[in-house]
Amino acid sequence: MTPQIEVKNLTKRFKDVVAINDISFSIQKGEIVGLLGPNGAGKTTTMHTLLGLITPTAGTINMLGKEFKSNREDILGRINFSSAYIQFMSQLTIWENLYVFARLYNISDARKKISSLLELMEISHMKKTLFGKLSSGQKTRVILAKTLLNDPEILLLDEPTASLDPDIADKVLSTLKNIHTEKNVTILYTSHNMAEIEELCERVIFLHKGSIIHRGTPHELTRIIPDYSLYITTTNNSEDIEAFKKKFSDYTIKEPTAGHLQIQTHEKELPELLQKVMKENLHLTNIDIKKPDLEDVFIKFSRETKVG
């Protein structure tokens, strides 16, 4: 099957700075892939290169089964881009901004299309409001409406929920999931919110200084970290807790607050640790297990690359 996005040996240099360093990846139709990395890793440069806003120094880009450079106009008419950092014309209304973009995309029956998207984003009642008067969350919904004007086959989303309140971010994510389910849209997604990436993405590509250093499913990446944490809360006195710590001195134990213990262990050793703890004379009021998540992986990779 021909990938919807295929990048081979992509490189971009700005004088002495290598923003993208010989990266290759492909994304199949209907996949949602996360592009991760710390600030300056090359995520936005990669996005802008895929959009044709930046000309690569070397490498090739194929999208929708076509070479991008020689089919730019056709491809750009079938994809779209969104970012929380985009700004529209502040002195135009929501409706006027969307109508300008609809004309640029040659949308037939633009008024009907805009109306349906305003309904989808729950901002129909604001269509005559100037864009410059909107809150961050409202602007994001307008930008996302623009992103869907041309019924794109590929969505490139660069931190679309950055700086949004949790309830608005959740609405945006729900909308994206519905669009993906209904239209099988291919999505390349960047975010610093690892919970979003775990919720949305089937695969993850991790960039550092323009190079791909890890890739895989969120589950595969979290298994790189074998450490689990067992959290217990007890009403025992301090002497009992100190005795417990000495008995379990083979483990790393932290006590962030009195009566709350964090015991670090490995995944394979967790069942044995649980059995040992339950045999102790502790008055437990709560017990919880935390396994590594994508945020732990992000922190681990970022620290390793800083050290390296």
Alpha-carbon distance of 136 to 85, in angstroms, equals 10
Alpha-carbon distance of 308 to 304, in angstroms, equals 6
Q: CATH number of the domain that 282 lies in?
A: 3.30.70.260
- CB hemisphere CA count around 47 (13 angstroms): 25
In a domain, 159, yes or no: yes
Within this chain, do residues 246 and 163 fall inside the same structural domain, yes or no?
no
How sure is the predictor about 248, in pLDDT bands with cuts at 50, 70 and 90?
A: very high
Q: Which two tokens stand for residue 205?
A: 């590509």
In a domain, 160, yes or no: yes
What Rg, from alpha-carbon coordinates, does the chain have?
A: 24
Q: What's the mean pLDDT in 114-130?
A: 95
Lowest mean pLDDT among 104-113, 180-189, 219-228: 219-228
How sure is the predictor about 300, in pLDDT bands with cuts at 50, 70 and 90?
A: confident
Q: What's the mean pLDDT in 282-287?
A: 93
Q: Which two tokens stand for residue 119?
A: 């309904």
pLDDT 10s digits, 25-51: 999 999 999 999 988 899 999 999 999
In a domain, 306, yes or no: no
In a domain, 308, yes or no: no
Within this chain, do residues 179 and 234 fall inside the same structural domain, yes or no?
no
Within this chain, do residues 102 and 209 fall inside the same structural domain, yes or no?
yes
Which residues form the domain of 254?
227-291
Within this chain, do residues 162 and 130 fall inside the same structural domain, yes or no?
yes
CA distance readout (Å), 50 to 2, 21, 68, 101, 142: 17, 15, 8, 20, 23
Is the confidence at residue 308, as pLDDT, over 60?
Answer: no
The pLDDT score that the predictor gives to residue 203 is 96
pLDDT 10s digits, 165-192: 888 888 888 889 998 999 999 999 999 8
Residues sharing a CB contact under 8 Å with residue 177, sequence separation 6 or more, in sequence order:
200
Matching residue, tokens 């700086």: 163
Within this chain, do residues 159 and 212 fall inside the same structural domain, yes or no?
yes
The pLDDT score that the predictor gives to residue 210 is 94
In a domain, 96, yes or no: yes
Model-level pTM?
A: 0.86
Within this chain, do residues 184 and 273 fall inside the same structural domain, yes or no?
no
Measured torsion, CA atoms of residues 47, 120, 90, 73, in degrees rounded to the nearest 10: 40
Within this chain, do residues 94 and 193 fall inside the same structural domain, yes or no?
yes
Mean residue pLDDT of the chain comes to 92
The pLDDT score that the predictor gives to residue 305 is 61
Within this chain, do residues 235 and 204 fall inside the same structural domain, yes or no?
no
The total domain count for the chain is 2
Matching residue, tokens 């984003």: 121
Q: What's the mean pLDDT in 197-223?
A: 93
How sure is the predictor about 306, in pLDDT bands with cuts at 50, 70 and 90?
A: low
Q: In what order do the strands lie in the sheet with 32-36?
A: 79-83, 154-158, 186-190, 32-36, 203-208, 211-216
Within this chain, do residues 243 and 202 fall inside the same structural domain, yes or no?
no
Q: What's the mean pLDDT in 108-121?
A: 94
The pLDDT score that the predictor gives to residue 307 is 47
